[in-house]
Structure 1
Amino acid sequence: MSQAETKPRTIGQQETSRNLDITPHPSVKHCADKVNAKYIHGRPEPELVPSRYALKVGAIDVTVISDGVLSLPGAMLGHNVDKTVREAWLEDMFLPPDVLEWALNVVLVRSGDQTILVDAGIGAEFPDLKRAGKLVQRLDDAGIDLSSVTDVVLTHLHMDHMGGLLVDGVKEVLRPDLRIHVAAAEVKFWAESPDFSRVSMPPGFPDALRESAKRFLKEYRNQLRPFEDEHEVAPGVRVQRTGGHTPGHSVVRLASGGQRLTFAGDAVFQVGFEHPDWYNGFEHDPEEAARVRISLLRELAANRESLLATHLSFPSVCHVAVDGDVFRWVPGPWEY
């Protein structure tokens, strides 16, 4: 047996056959190639910025970890508005009109004797997305052992929120008694025939989403702890189903020592403050998603609690203010 054959693989290295089995749709690869060619940062290795940010909510420790950046067409921001209106907003935000870079934020929460991973990033199934799927590496860089995670909360089962659990070698490191909390409505949606009639995604994405969700449900069936509408995961850590983005989409609410923070998953996107009625291309029920977004933003503005979200620029810690009929994003103070 050769040296190459005996060398152990590290977490994240994919089998060639697995890569062949899950090759993304050509349109997805074309989008990735275009973006990778256009937005080359030339950062040296190792990264200069650790891409993690720590804060406290009372007695609860919170670490925001960047899973990288996912580049998608600008039209994904609001497919129900005129292209010129959307492009004008992007220009006002100093962003290119055709491609929007979505942050991928994951949260690690420590409450009592529990260590909770909220969402798990996109994973390594899509090697053409070269700047995404960094969670395993960045957890390791932060000195966070996957085997210390007692619970996982998934806001929903889109591949950029649970794909990190499908990375080669990850399941073997996780605790055998790991509890994965996800809304029962979400499990049912993906286990049956998920409806994509209302979304507006590039070709190839629906098939990729279906396949990754099916694989996840098969591999982690025994660890799932479905809940109906609300569930307390740990002291001061509560997951609450909102629906809209997907039928079982949920948010995570933290409360301790008079302080509060909400991780909103995909309920709030960058454009959602000024234009909460714009439909995101990944929303399975756009009208309900808009209602959820407006209701959540009104609540956060009223109680002045902090907000984190998956696709707001890292580390995404902010507050919400009401500005007339819309909302305003207020960056949180940098804690150091």
Structure 2
Amino acid sequence: MSQAETKPRRIGQQETNMSLDNTSNPGTTARDELVPSRYAVQIGEIEVLVISDGVLPLPTAMLAHDTDPAVRGAWLDDMFLPPDALDWPLNVVVVRSGGQTILVDAGLGLDPALNLPRAGQLVKRLEAAGIDLASVTDVVLTHMHMDHIGGLLVDGVKDRLRPDLRIHVAAAEVKFWEAPDFTHVSMPAGFPDALRAAATRFAEEYRGQLRLFDEEHEVAPGVVVRRTGGHTPGHSVVRLASGGDRLTFAGDAVFAVGFDHPDWHNGFEHDPEEAARVRVRLLTELAATGEQLVATHLPFPSVGRVAVDGDAFRWVPVFWDY
């Protein structure tokens, strides 16, 4: 690693040891990557690093399985996206506040049975960003789908984590995965079994480190996790607030198509009607506050704001800060 990659820099007049220097600059990207995979944001005194876990190729029907294929296809065509299969981004966030280093979600990890080689990049990208797994004090899980917990199940990862690591997750989420209901989802073959197996294994391996909350919990100064439900019963969002700045990590409450069509049902939603209500409430709130939004499956770096556009919404990406 070059000197430019290892030296600390100042972000918003505050020095950091997270090696966030020029994280959006392709010149600091690993040689085998053609695009950046990390991007730094400052929210008051809170340091935020968005990290790409890679991409997850899925059928485009997953964007709206309840919608006429021709209508869905027209939206894809308008967005210059392929009609049949789409690479879904996978984003996680590292937050530093009050002396704590918090990993929000943990990416896909490795599941050879599903043949998803371009996902599960989190561990090596944390290393490339100069973030030691042993420095992580807390993990916040938006929910327990495998693309949010799988990075913690990669061989050898648990041994590199702190023994006093705290994993914050809604109690309703843990309860749900004891007997999960897949009757309202529309997933590719193999995914329900893989999701169930990953959640079961995760609960077994990390049960002693789980810190359960009911509706809302402050993880660190200015870092609050709040249960929304919908996508899964315990699905949660993470709200950051410091010095007048605000950012929400929305997990799977918002997908790219959800701005134009917030009522469309995503194939991974266990309660799609409630998920649509959650999405509308959240987007309405974000449009009113003007705060920044990051979500798991929005195009990297997924940092932007929300505007109201008639009966729907409009995604307004930030200008990259080099």
- Normalised TM-score (structure 1): 0.86
**AA aligned opposite 2:161:** L
What is the distance in 2 between the residues matched to 1:49 and 1:223? 35
2:51 aligned residue (42, 65, 81): 65
What is the distance in 2 between the residues matched to 1:45 and 1:216? 33
How many pairs align? 293
The answer as to whether partners of 1:50 and 1:138 remain within 8 angstroms in 2 is no
Matched, 1:91 2:74: no
What is the distance in 1 between the residues matched to 2:309 and 2:71? 20
What is the distance in 2 between the residues matched to 1:134 and 1:50? 13
**AA aligned opposite 2:131:** I
Matched, 1:239 2:225: yes
- State the partner residue of 1:40: none
Matched, 1:177 2:191: no
**AA aligned opposite 1:114:** Q
1:153 aligned residue (97, 115, 140): 140
| 1:202 positional shift | 1.0
**AA aligned opposite 1:161:** H
Deviations 1:20-63 (A, max 9, x none): xxxxxxxxxxxxxxxxxxxxxxxx95213340000100000000
**AA aligned opposite 1:60:** I
What is the distance in 1 between the residues matched to 2:31 and 2:247? 33
- State the partner residue of 1:210: 196
**AA aligned opposite 1:52:** R
2:308 aligned residue (317, 322, 327): 322
| 1:125 positional shift | 2.2
- State the partner residue of 1:266: 252
**AA aligned opposite 2:235:** H
- Does the residue aligned with 2:177 lie in a helix, a strand or coil? helix
What is the distance in 1 between the residues matched to 2:313 and 2:300? 20
Matched, 1:114 2:114: no
Q: Structure 2 unaligned runs (5+)?
A: 1-29
List structure 1 segments (4+ residues) > 2 angstroms apart after TM superposition: none
| 1:333 positional shift | 2.1
What is the distance in 1 between the residues matched to 2:177 and 2:31? 38
**AA aligned opposite 1:98:** D
- State the partner residue of 2:9: none
User: For residues 1-336 of structure 1, what are the structure 2 equivalents within 5 Å?
Assistant: 46-126=32-112, 128-191=115-178, 193-336=179-322
What is the distance in 1 between the residues matched to 2:271 and 2:31? 41
The answer as to whether partners of 1:269 and 1:311 remain within 8 angstroms in 2 is yes
The answer as to whether partners of 1:245 and 1:284 remain within 8 angstroms in 2 is yes
The answer as to whether partners of 1:108 and 1:116 remain within 8 angstroms in 2 is yes
What is the distance in 2 between the residues matched to 1:106 and 1:77? 20
- Aligned-pair Cα RMSD in Å: 1.2
Deviations 1:239-290 (A, max 9, x none): 0000000000000000000000000000000000000000000000000000
What is the distance in 2 between the residues matched to 1:202 and 1:72? 8
What is the distance in 2 between the residues matched to 1:130 and 1:203? 18
- Normalised TM-score (structure 2): 0.90
What is the distance in 2 between the residues matched to 1:151 and 1:244? 24
| 1:126 positional shift | 3.0
- Does the residue aligned with 1:220 lie in a helix, a strand or coil? helix
What is the distance in 1 between the residues matched to 2:199 and 2:112? 14
What is the distance in 2 between the residues matched to 1:51 and 1:126? 23
- Does the residue aligned with 1:186 lie in a helix, a strand or coil? helix
What is the distance in 1 between the residues matched to 2:50 and 2:191? 26
- Does the residue aligned with 1:175 lie in a helix, a strand or coil? coil
